[in-house]
Chain A
Amino acid sequence: MNDEFRNLVAKWINEDASGTENIAEANYHINYMDTHLYDEYIPTAGVQHPAFQTRLAKWVLAAGSEHDQKQLFKLASKIFFVGEKEMTALYYTAFSKHILCWLASSGAVDLLSNTAADMMQAKLKNTLFTAVTDSLDIGKFLRLNNIQADPRYIWKQGASTWDGAQFERDYLKGRTHVVLLEDFVGSGDQMLEAVIKCLQLPSQPLVLLCPLVICWLGDKHAREIAAANPRMTYSPVLTIDKEACLTEQPQASESHVFTHARPVIAKLHPRLRGSTSDWQQDYGPHGFPGGRTHPIFGKLTGIGGLTVKYDNCPDNTLPILHRKSDLWEPLFFRQSRLPE
């Protein structure tokens, strides 16, 4: 199978002598990522999963027509893979750039003064570090950045028994600054729920929302909430623009790869559902939160993301990349918490 697939890629490269389709570049990029990063993907690390090149061959060849196969191959070159080291770098940057800048500016710390270091230490002690979900490893974040902090809070875990007064008593303990961290944000549903609770606390702390990676839809929602709440600062480390996603509606400046792949992923989507059609998390070809209605933001469309994190694939990434059914083998199998 690999041989058949690689010969097909060779044929596409040779047919693209003028380079207009960038097939050779797509091939180099995919191979480079395979060599350096794709082995890190945890859900396919087990022996039951074939190596990336075999998964890629199966995935592309499953498309059926050569035209569709080529579009899938080109789409694979647009995947944004966040490896373990990259994630660690994001943990560092969140603190060294975003959090420290926020603390310095919110407390009017003169960084050139002799007492700046002491003042920043005082600010840090006055700050509660929290994670929106346990997807962000708050312990790792604190260890990497040498922050001594206790207690630590995860908003998702406390959601079912939420009590603002108890939170103030047990966690905030008179602190005036709260940082909300999250490793990856798609539409921002969970993140904004936590932010709103935090903003409604009686002691009115200053709030920093600092996602490490956030997609265009979550970014839009976060900006809207921040604009309406002067106590909240929104400072994302990395934002994935709409142009980097294969959205339901074409973007004016989108890559021709997305334009050509859009009908292909729509055509193949029924196979992702499988023969039993009991896929509970089917949000359409462009992924979560396609087709859902949010109480504040109204009807939502699929994000169409192409992000794959080393530890799992987010659900707002295109399902064609991660969904496994009896009729479809994914490229980066997603390990879901909820029943699929």
Chain B
Amino acid sequence: MTFNSNPFVELYMTESISAAKFVKLFSPALLSETDTHALFQSGNVILSGLQGSGKTALLNLLRPEVLIAYREAGVSWPLPPHCSKFISAGINLSKSSAMDFGERPFDSSSVAGRNHLMYFTDFLNYWIVEDLLNSLEIINTTHIPNVKDFLGIDGTTERLDEFARHLSRLPCWHGGLSDVDTFSSLRRSLVARIYVYKDYLNYNIDELPRELRESKTSAGDPISYTVEALRKFEIIPTELPVLIRIDQFEDLMGLEAHAQGARAGDFRKVIFKMLGRRDQRLSYRIGARPYSLIPDMKMSGTEASIEELRNFKTVDIDGILQRREHSIGPFPQFAEDVVRRRLEDAGYVLPQRVKSLLKYIFGPKPTPEERVNRYVRSASAASVISIEHSWPTEVTRFLSELATVEPISAKLGEAWYRQESQRSSDAGALIADRPWEGPSKRWWKKERVDHALLQIAATRHQKMTWSGASDLIALSGGNILVFLNVCQLIWAEYLRRIYSNSAEVPHQIDSIVQDMGIQEASAYWYRKMQADAYGGDERYRFVSTVADQLRSRMREDKNMSYPGANGFSLSERDLDKRPDISHFLDNCFQYGALSVQRHTPKTKSRGQSKKWYLFPILSPYFQLPVVKTKEPFYATVAIIETWLQKSDVTIRAIAKPSAPKKGRDSLGTQLIFPGLGEE
């Protein structure tokens, strides 16, 4: 075991590891949120979340191998009993051959331009049924005791063969499964059909066989009949939920853009059609990034839409993990557990009797005084304050002397005097008492500390610094991938400095080391934005403009009247009038460029509003505070238009969107998605 390697080097670990290792590394912290329990019970669920939010890890928990691995390891199933019995199968769209459907056009003997959808649907049906039978076989043949009995699976060879013969003759296959007389031959036939598609898409055969062309199946039909037959032959109990996973839903957008004859939304509508069946026999689990969810959710080949609550329930993983109004949310606990598991897996000996491992490793957030010491050398401390010629000598002298010993207090004193001297001529006489440090100004001071630090760092031409467990949590914005990336880069910087063979977990890694890793992570996430599909380059430029504008305002606001101006607000009324701008900002949120919250503005006449901030990890790159203090910069649509022009972003005029579907919150869902408006 070497401790000179980075335990966070692999970011997407739970996607690629064995089931046994999954049990060790998967953090059940998320499962303490009852919203996630819907995934393990009957009913269709769309699991929505940004890249790296943990969707695939949650969906992988449904795999039969994982269920067995928990039993084998003697680890308790991390969910309550009513969420522990199910059988699951599915498809990872990016890892299967589904994405190859854009590689080759299909014949044009039937409905022009729609054949790729019919074949894609057929491919999905065969893949999922084959995976369901594979899951069944895994459970049926496991040597781990009690798994079969616990789930109620009863798969004798005779019964399975009888089931196979029955299923293959059902009309849902349109004659596509002939010559099936055993369970094994059924599976071989399913696999053979999948391979015919692979061969066609890879140009290994000139055309699809006639038998295949004449036996295409309908969306979800064979899956439902398979489940029904499994119950009919009492291979699975009637009450055992059958959960069908479809992961990486957003990749279908790329397929729609690439496949000949495909229109935006085409492939996704096939999945919606499966959800729209409202089939009591099985339940679907769709893992999707928010931007891929089409607002009207129409099903393939119809004008009918699926609706939340009627056809599916949304589990918004970002919403679950993000900090709430009056609580810190589950993310800190989740992050702590993930770090603990990673370090244990890497062979580290964890410290005993430690309340917070994150705090043990990364320490507490440095005090404002400690942070200011990194920006200001004592000899130049007086320069942190900005003095006006018109100010009384005693004010100037007091603040200048204070700056040499307590620069942060002097900076706050400067802001206090600027504000107070506009209201009262007595302000100068009070300055020696440092009223801004008194109990009545506790909140005034708290709200302005980060603002003062920004101004001091800027005056001294220094970068603002970040470190400490709470900064790591805040900068991650509730996204575990961002958090792990920050840990990875801090650890890499730590390893650049020392060569350690010690199994001891480092204690309070130097704040300079942490800051280096955080700055690197911030630059990485900003650069990455440019490479994102569907307008990443435009969002990259827009975010830069927004950040520059907000930072300039905060730097120039010497009175510190608007300490919350690291975000901007727009009234929903104004946004309703400009769906194009609303759409662009929603996209920025759904691609993780900005974060958004509803809020009630200071001026009631603005009405209900939304406020936007940079996604937290971008804050270090743009040197903006991450803390969300009340009263953001109150922008107007005209100002946003100016920012868009500065960013060279041209937004398409779009019609006012229809009202959101019942039960759907427009804050967390997309209004229009790229390309769909051109239909």
Contact = CB atoms under 8 A, between A and B. Distances in A.
Contacts of A165: none
Interface in B459-494: 461-463, 465, 492-493
Given A3-B498, A13-B463, A15-B462, A35 B493 contact: no
B497 A18 contact: no
Interface stretch (B411-419, B516-524, B605-613): B516-524
Contacts of A2: 496-498
Nearest to A10: B512
B223 interface: no
A53 to B, nearest CB: 5
Nearest to A5: B497
A14 B516 CA distance: 9
14 contacts: A2-B498, A6-B493, A6-B496, A7-B512, A10-B516, A13-B519, A14-B374, A14-B375, A15-B461, A17-B462, A17-B623, A27-B516, A35-B492, A51-B499
B463 A17 contact: yes
B497 A28 contact: no
B191 interface: no
A31 B497 contact: no
A79 interface: no
A15 B524 CA distance: 20
Contacts of B492: 31, 35
Contacts of B498: 2-3
A99 interface: no
Contacts of A7: 512
Contacts of A16: 463
A237 interface: no
Contacts of B623: 17
Given A15-B461, A53-B496, A6 B520 contact: no
Nearest to B458: A17
Interface string A23-57: 01101100100010000000000000001010000
Among B457, B496, B519, find the residue whose CB has the most chain A CB atoms closer than 10 A. Answer: B496
Nearest to B513: A6
Given A2-B496, A7-B512, A53-B496, A17 B461 contact: yes
A51 B2 CA distance: 15
Q: How large is the interface on A (under 10, 10 to 19, 20 to 34, 35 or more residues)?
A: 20 to 34
A14 B493 contact: no
Interface string B445-465: 000000000000110011101
A75 B523 CA distance: 21
A3 B516 contact: no
Q: How large is the interface on B (under 10, 10 to 19, 20 to 34, 35 or more residues)?
A: 20 to 34
Given A2-B497, A7-B512, A14 B458 contact: no
B493 A18 contact: no
B135 to A, nearest CB: 38
A330 B512 CA distance: 27
B130 interface: no
Given A6-B496, A53-B496, A24 B461 contact: no
B515 interface: yes
A3 B496 CA distance: 8
Contacts of B465: 14
B462 A14 contact: yes
A205 to B, nearest CB: 40
B383 to A, nearest CB: 15
Contacts of A15: 461-462
Nearest to A34: B496
B60 to A, nearest CB: 28
Among B374, B498, B519, find the residue whose CB has the most chain A CB atoms closer than 10 A. Answer: B519
A2 B510 CA distance: 14
B479 to A, nearest CB: 21
B520 A28 contact: yes
A16 B623 CA distance: 12
A13 B513 CA distance: 12
Contacts of A14: 374-375, 462-463, 465, 515
Nearest to B524: A28
A127 to B, nearest CB: 32
Contacts of B493: 6
Closest 4 CB pairs of A and B: A14-B463, A53-B496, A2-B497, A3-B497
Contacts of B497: 2-3, 6
B499 to A, nearest CB: 8
A24 B513 contact: no
A35 B465 CA distance: 24
A60 to B, nearest CB: 13
Nearest to B462: A14
Nearest to B461: A17
Contacts of A28: 520, 523-524
A67 to B, nearest CB: 17
A6 B512 CA distance: 9
Interface in A237-264: none
Interface in B520-551: 520, 523-524
Among A10, A18, A25, A27, find the residue whose CB has the most chain B CB atoms closer than 10 A. Answer: A10
Contact of B520 (A3, A31, A51, A53): A31
B555 to A, nearest CB: 12
Interface in A132-165: none
A24 B512 contact: no
A1 to B, nearest CB: 9
A45 to B, nearest CB: 16
